[in-house]
Amino acid sequence: DAGVTQSPTHLIKTRGQHVTLRCSPISGHKSVSWYQQVLGQGPQFIFQYYEKEERGRGNFPDRFSARQFPNYSSELNVNALLLGDSALYLCASSLEGGSNQPQHFGDGTRLSIL
């Protein structure tokens, strides 16, 4: 069975641009969470979506938004990119949305802002 898949693998953008990252969860998983990981740190929670609704949001500005589609795949959108948005963006899926659910991670999208 396929694991969590993310696209694209790498992306280079310039300041002020907009970016869309995509995530397909493990088949049957209804919850998708997004994390940002800057070099040398642990991942930081951005959003959780469960059954197409936002369930939780981390301490990120409104430039970050996401949505979940009927097939449970998800998009993360970032507007007005800043140099500090350069990071590895990770998507994780879980079967259900509760806090006791183990999360399974994709390989991430490496975003570089010039």
- Tell me which residues in 8-27 interact with another protein (CB under 8 A): none
CA distances (Å), 24 to each of 36, 60, 83, in order?
Answer: 17, 22, 27
Q: Can you tell me which of 45, 52, 64, 75 binds another protein, judged by CB under 8 A?
A: 45
Q: CA 106, 54, 61 angle in degrees (round to 5)? A: 85
Query: Which amino acid makes up residue 5?
Result: T
Q: Can you tell me which of 11, 22, 52, 58 binds another protein, judged by CB under 8 A?
A: 58
Shortest Å, Cβ 75 to another protein? 18
Told to check if 94 binds another protein by CB under 8 A, we report yes
Contact assessment for residue 107 and residue 9, using Cβ atoms and an 8 Å cutoff: yes
Q: How far is it, in rounded angstroms, from Cα 81 to Cα 16?
A: 5
Residues in contact with another protein by CB under 8 A are 4, 6, 31, 33, 35, 40-45, 48, 50, 55-56, 58, 88, 90, 92, 94, 97-108, 110
